[in-house]
């Protein structure tokens, strides 16, 4: 981990220079933060599980025509990804009321939305990732109108696909956060899905019991966070049924 040149360290991941130009190695840490770094902790094994889960979901999305930054998983904690110019917005898609939407509008968590809602947040720790509209994004040139059309279309397709995929695993996809980036080739600029899709960036509830199987276990001190992530991985079929140790070398 220390031999390569570190490019960036985020709250849950570290980025290193990749072996070829235009590539990056994305390392998944066990560190967890919430409420913009006010709450900090470690969830043992989280990085290994998120690496696996995100790989699995991005491969599936790629297969159904959503371009992603994933090239391949390298080992238990690392994946090789395409270097992108990150668009500084978080795209949140919501199917059921939860989290900041419930707080902001005084709604009851768990209420179904009559249609999926797409929200945008400006990626800025200093400003606490404020809610913004497409008007801000285009006015400040964070993305063009054309790029935003692409981003919204892709986000809704991802929502449909992932909702079905999780449903098949006995899980309700309540909401999730996506990040997108640009890659430049000779004569075109392409928008691709970046970052990660994992229980850190999604709300996932058990279909029958509504038990939380995501980072809200850490945010709300519910306990058994690693076990919940492991359960998601197991249901998605990315952990062998018999495996009860997610740091097992066999996963490599």
Residues that bind ligand TMP in the complex, under the rule CB under 6 A: 92, 98-101, 129, 175-177, 201-203
SS3 per residue for 53-94: HHHHHHHHHHHCCCCECEEEECCCCEEEEECCEECCEEEEEE
Give the residue with the Cβ less far from ligand TMP, 67 or 99: 99
Measured from the CB atom, the residue of 100 and 138 that comes closer to ligand TMP is 100
Helices (H) and strands (E) in the chain, counts: 6, 14
Least Å distance, CB 11 to ligand TMP, is 8
Q: Which residue, 18 or 94, has its beta carbon nearer to ligand TMP?
A: 94
**Can you tell me whether residue 19 is helix, strand or coil?**
coil
What is the smallest separation between the CB atom of 136 and ligand TMP, expressed in angstroms?
17
Residue whose C-beta lies closest to ligand TMP: 99
* DSSP letter (8 states) at residue 249: G
Instruction: Please count the residues of the chain.
Output: 252
What three-state secondary structure class fits 202?
Answer: strand
Distance CA 195, CA 119 (A): 17
What number of other Cβ atoms are within 10 A of residue 222's Cβ? 12
Closest distance to ligand TMP from the beta carbon of 191 (Å)? 19
Distance of closest approach, residue 217 Cβ to ligand TMP, in angstroms = 12
Tell me the closest approach of the beta carbon of residue 210 to ligand TMP, in angstroms. 15
104 vs 190, which CB is nearer to ligand TMP?
104
Considering beta carbons, is residue 11 or 157 the nearer one to ligand TMP? 11
DSSP bridge partners of 14: 9, 27
How many Å apart are CA 212 and CA 222, to the nearest integer? 9
């Amino acid at each position: 981990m220390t031999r390569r040149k570190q490019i960036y360290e985020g709250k849950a991941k570290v980025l290193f220079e990749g072996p070829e130009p235009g590539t990056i190695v994305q390392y998944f840490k066990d560190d967890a933060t919430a409420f913009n770094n006010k709450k900090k902790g470690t969830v043992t094994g989280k990085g290994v599980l998120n690496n696996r889960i995100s790989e699995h979901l991005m491969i599936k999305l790629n297969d159904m025509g959503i371009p992603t930054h994933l090239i391949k998983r390298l080992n238990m904690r690392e994946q090789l990804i395409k270097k992108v110019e990150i668009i500084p917005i978080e795209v949140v898609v919501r199917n059921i009321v939860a989290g900041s939407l419930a707080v902001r509008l005084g709604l009851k968590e768990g209420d179904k939305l009559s249609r999926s809602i797409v929200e945008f947040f400006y990626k800025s720790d200093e400003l606490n990732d404020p809610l913004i509209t497409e008007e801000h994004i285009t006015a400040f040139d964070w993305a063009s109108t054309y790029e935003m059309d692409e981003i919204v279309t892709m986000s809704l397709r991802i929502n449909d696909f992932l909702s079905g995929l999780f449903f098949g695993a006995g899980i309700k996809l309540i909401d999730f956060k996506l990040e997108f980036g640009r890659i430049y080739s000779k004569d075109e600029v392409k928008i691709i899905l970046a970052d990660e899709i994992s229980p850190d960036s999604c709300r996932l509830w058990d279909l029958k019991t509504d038990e939380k199987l995501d980072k809200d276990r850490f945010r709300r001190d519910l306990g058994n966070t690693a076990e919940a992530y492991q359960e998601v991985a197991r249901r998605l079929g990315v952990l062998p049924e018999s495996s009860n140790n997610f740091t097992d070398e066999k996963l490599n």
